[in-house]
Structures are given as C-alpha cells and as structure tokens.
Amino acid sequence: MNKRPLIISTDPGIDDIAAMTISLFAQELDVRMIVPTWGNVALKYTLQNTLNLEKFLHTKVPVVVGANQPLVAPMISAASVHGKTGIAGFEFEQADDSLIEPGLAATLMAKEIKSSPEKITLMGIGPLTDFALLFKQYPEVKENIAEIVIMGGNIGHGNHSPFAEYNIAGDPEAAQVVFHSGLLVKVAPLEIGNKAHLTPEQMDKVKTCGEVGNMLYSLFSNIHEPDGDPRIKIYDPTAVGIMLHPEMFTMKKANVNIELRGQYTYGASVIDFMDQEHANAEIATDVDLDKFATWFIDSIKKADQGRE
C-alpha cells in the first residue's frame, strides 16, 4: 500500500491527542512531521504534550517547534476546557526533547515538502499560523502539496464568539492566507464536530481498547459540556476521517473567506455555498454517525495494537 505522506499542525489539546493517535497508526498514512503550535494552550505545553504522547505511543516522528503566537490577532486560550496544560485528565510520563528537530517550522516543512517524491498532505487541527508562514515564505512548495485538511470554521454559530470557531478565531489572518493559497482546503467545521459525538456506551468501548483506549477515555471524560449533554464531541479526529474515509461525510464546495475587520464578527468563517465559480474549499455538512463511531473505535484498537 502506498501511504499518504502527512504533516500535522496541532495544538494538543484533548481532541488533538486523539487525532494524532489515530494518524500515527493509520496504515494509510506516513506522518513525516508534527508541528505543535500555540492554540488551546501556550506553545510550551503543546510542545511537551506532543513529546509526551509520542513517548506513550512508542513512536518517533520528528517534532518541529511551531509558532508561539498568531500573526496579528491577540492571544486566546482554551485552558478552561482542556486544563492548564491542555490535557487535564491523564498523567503522561514526561518525555525529553530528543525528537525535536532544530530549526524554523516553515523552513523545515518546506524542506520536507520539496524533497518528497510524493505530494504531501497538510492537516491543521489548531490555529493555522505555521501553514500561513510556510506559504508566505516558501510559496513554491504548493506545487508538491496534495491538499489541506483542517478542523476549523463554522457554518452557523461559533464556539469562541457568536460568529467565530476557536481554531480560526485563534489566527484569522493565517486562516485567510491558507484559504487563498490556491490549494483545495477540505474542512471539518464546528458543526461536524458537534455531530460526531460518542455516547457514554460507545466511550465505554473506547475504554476497553487497551492502554491507548484508557488514556483517551480518561482525557475525554474530563470534558463536561455546558449544557450537561453526556455525549462526547470528538472534533479534531473528524479531519482525519475526512482525509481517510470521505464516504462517511457529505461534502459541499464553497467559497470561504475569513472576516478580518468586523467589530463583532472578527474571525468568522464566511462560507458561500452559492459561489461555486470561486470555490476554494470543500465543507463537510453531514456525517454518518454510526460509521464514524465504528471507525473511531476501530482506529483506537489499531493504535493500541500498534503501540505494543
């Protein structure tokens, strides 16, 4: 099987941990590099969380230190949801920095992309700062990028503000650069993350998936929905699902822009399904929940088996 080469930009974050775990053990993927960035919490935490996860999973994918702040926007934080370190609910053994590849993220990503015999996919499951810097500094790399897949944006109501989803609101200017890169962007928006939930019974199945399942169960159990909904919303793994199993999703083309000037709408995703002529993205508008839940649980089982 020809594996799809992948670079992950991430801000772990509980759901990021799940998405990375699935990606690292997916037989269809060859994860070339992980770029932790600021986002859910500060960079010092997301970097250490990435290293700790790799130690736990017994993987050795190079880690490149990403951006520690947005291009223009003020810093935001989701520590109230994910905990101060980003992964409240499970104590990872602390890893050293031996997997860190020294250098600037944009430069190292560009080097990897240019040298790859196969086109590389970029997956962004946090603010898109590092991908924006890559395209600004090395626009020629676009020729060897297959596509961009992200979890971010919203069709309707936001979760950071009434109009903006957190990952896009974290760095709206960077998101605008990515959507106008000339590359196709496949989007798992907030609404798909809300739909792609697991019931308590399904989470019990996750818990039985060895040490990896227990780790994810512990992390997700620490998230409590404000409305008291006992179902667990998965979010970032939906981007992996779109990449590997698009048949689980309904995808619609759209022209996407990010609002950069609005006093009340800054960071909003302006998704125009009518403007097909200038479509720059494919947006997931629905998900087969049963298939998604089955795939998610099976992926955790495979990760636990692969870890041993």
For the segment 10-64, what is each residue's pLDDT rounded down to a tens digit?
999 999 999 999 999 999 999 999 999 999 899 999 999 999 999 999 999 999 9
How far is 48 from 51, CA to CA, in rounded Å?
5
Question: pTM to 2 decimals?
Answer: 0.96
Number of H helices and E strands in the chain, helices first, is 12, 10
Structure token digits, residue 154: 């919203």
pLDDT of amino acid 85: 87
Q: Which residues contact 98 (CB under 8 A, 6 or more apart)?
A: none
Sheet architecture: strand order including 185-188: 29-36, 4-10, 120-124, 145-151, 185-188, 281-287, 249-258, 269-272
173-185 confidence digits (pLDDT tens): 999 999 999 999 9
**Is residue 111 within 8 Å of 104, Cβ to Cβ?**
no
Which residue segment(s) compose the domain that 225 sits in? 4-307
Query: For 158, which DSSP code?
Result: -
Q: What is the CATH number of the domain that holds 133?
A: 3.90.245.10
CB atoms within 10 A of CB 227: 5
**Is residue 260 within 8 Å of 218, Cβ to Cβ?**
no
Q: How many domains, the chain?
A: 1
